[in-house]
Amino acid sequence: MTRPDVIKQLLTDGSLAKNPRRHWPEWIDGTIGADWPLASWVAVESMFTSDGADHQRLRALTAPAFGPRRIDALRPQVRAIVTRLIDDLRTAAPGEEVDLHARLAYPLPTTLICDLFGVPEEQRPEMRRVVDGVLDTTAAPDKAQANLDDLFAAMHRLVAHKRNTPGDDMTSELIAARDATGSQLTEQELASTLILMIGAGSETAVNLIDHATALLLSHPEQLAKVHRGDATWRDVIEETLRLEPPIMHLPLHYAAQDIDLGEDVLIRAGTPVLLGFGAAGRDPHLHPDRPNDFDLTRPDKSHLAFGHGRHYCLGASLGVLEAEEALTALFRAFPDVRLAVGREQLLPQESFISNALRTLPVLLAPAA
């Protein structure tokens, strides 16, 4: 489903649910199991797969950490990480090809989210591996099962570590809420919430930084508008979110009732529904004027890149902040940066969920 007006309607009128344990018959009876390639997106028990009171209860545990004041307070921490990464990029020789995905876009959000959740250094490589694994939609059944097992195992190791050595981090706060007398947070919900926050807290910002950079470097006339002051970095971010959103499809919603969309389209109750959030920004009904063009001065940059309604992404503001700091620092430090290959040669990762690049090769400065 890709029409933004229809998506918004269904997400606000109660027609769609998120809990497969109540609304997806094939998951309930075991027809679809843990070896399904997208099982990691269904088996979790967090606000991502909950409705009503359960969704409100689980969202309330993490929402305060992503409020406007808390996000703004993170700017110095984000800027410090960006500064370290930019300083490392300065060590590249003139004319040397550098992968900005590996050396800026990827490490910034993953470092920050691991810092926020107190992931110890020795656990970070495995944490990154298991989070990346759930985005691979080509996995065979045995690999999908292993990915799911490894994902929960990594979170349980983190929980065990933070129970022994609590700190000033969000994992310790969640554990305190879980272990409090009368808490309704289960151990499975605790691990699932960590999966959601650590995974979503890194992947969206990685892709946003990658695509914003690639779009600017392949549209120098648009980058010139930023340098002249005719457009802002926020314009860059919003237009990138519209044209190349970090997430293309977000599994899954389920029809909570029979849904009649007209024109002989009837979705029966219990049917899984895949919403094409990534398509909304290019919808010709929403953007009739050159919907596939990258234009920073476009008056309307409407998109659904962060979802809509009750399940709107909690970390949206954090992802925007990271992208803003990364882009500002990159183009200030390397005004002559350019793509090392044609934009058509930038290869996507093998996932229909994540709109991600494998690499982003650039030349930071002309050859000596």
pLDDT of 58-72, one tens digit each?
999 889 889 999 999
Among 200, 226, 184, residue whose Cα is nearest residue 327: 226
The encoded tokens of residue 45 equal: 């028990």
Pick the CATH number of 4-363 from 1.10.630.10, 3.30.1360.70, 3.40.50.300, 3.30.1490.20: 1.10.630.10
Which pLDDT belongs to residue 185? 85
**Is residue 136 scored above 90 in pLDDT?**
no
**Is residue 181 scored above 70 in pLDDT?**
no
Q: Residue 57 burial by CB count (10 A; 0-12/13-18/19+): exposed, middle or buried?
A: middle
Cα atoms found within 13 Å of the Cα of residue 358, Cβ hemisphere only: 9
Among 97, 166, 154, residue whose Cα is nearest residue 126: 154
* Share of the chain residues as helix, strand and coil, in percent rounded to the nearest 5: 55, 10, 35
Domain ranges for the chain = 4-363
Cβ–Cβ under 8 Å, residues 274 and 1? yes
For 2-55, write each residue's pLDDT tens digit. Answer: 889 999 999 999 999 999 999 999 999 999 999 998 998 999 999 999 999 999
Residue 73 dihedral angles phi and psi, to the nearest 5°: -70, -20
Among 168, 180, 185, 212, residue whose Cα is nearest residue 319: 212
For the chain, count helices (H), then strands (E): 15, 8
| Mean pLDDT score across all residues of the chain | 94
User: Please, what's the b/e burial string for 336-363 (b: 16 or more CB within 10 A of its CB; e: otherwise)?
Assistant: ebebbeeeeebeebebbbbbbbebbbbb
Q: 118-132, 158-172, 181-195, 288-302: lowest mean pLDDT where?
A: 181-195
Residue 305 dihedral angles phi and psi, to the nearest 5°: -60, -30
How many whole angstroms separate alpha carbon 325 and alpha carbon 205?
11
Which pLDDT belongs to residue 184? 75
Of 367 and 218, the one with more pLDDT: 218
Cβ–Cβ under 8 Å, residues 239 and 298? yes
Distances (CA, A) of 157 to 45, 107, 112, 187, 355: 18, 22, 19, 12, 29
Instruction: Please compute the mean of the pLDDT values over residues 334-341 and round it to a whole number.
Output: 96
**Is residue 182 scored above 80 in pLDDT?**
no
* DSSP alpha helix (H) spans, 219-303: 220-228, 233-243
Where does the pLDDT of residue 243 fall: very low under 50, low under 70, confident under 90, or very high at 90 and above? very high
Residue 157 dihedral angles phi and psi, to the nearest 5°: -65, -40
**Is residue 367 scored above 80 in pLDDT?**
no
**Is residue 139 scored above 90 in pLDDT?**
no
Residue located via tokens 């099962």:
145
**Is residue 368 scored above 70 in pLDDT?**
no
Which pLDDT belongs to residue 328? 97
Which pLDDT belongs to residue 134? 85
Among 9, 59, 16, residue whose Cα is nearest residue 250: 16
Where does the pLDDT of residue 350 fall: very low under 50, low under 70, confident under 90, or very high at 90 and above? confident
Cβ–Cβ under 8 Å, residues 299 and 191? no
Within 10 angstroms of residue 153's Cβ, the number of other Cβ atoms is: 13
| Single-letter amino acid code for the residue at 219 | H
Which pLDDT belongs to residue 308? 93
**Is residue 366 scored above 80 in pLDDT?**
no
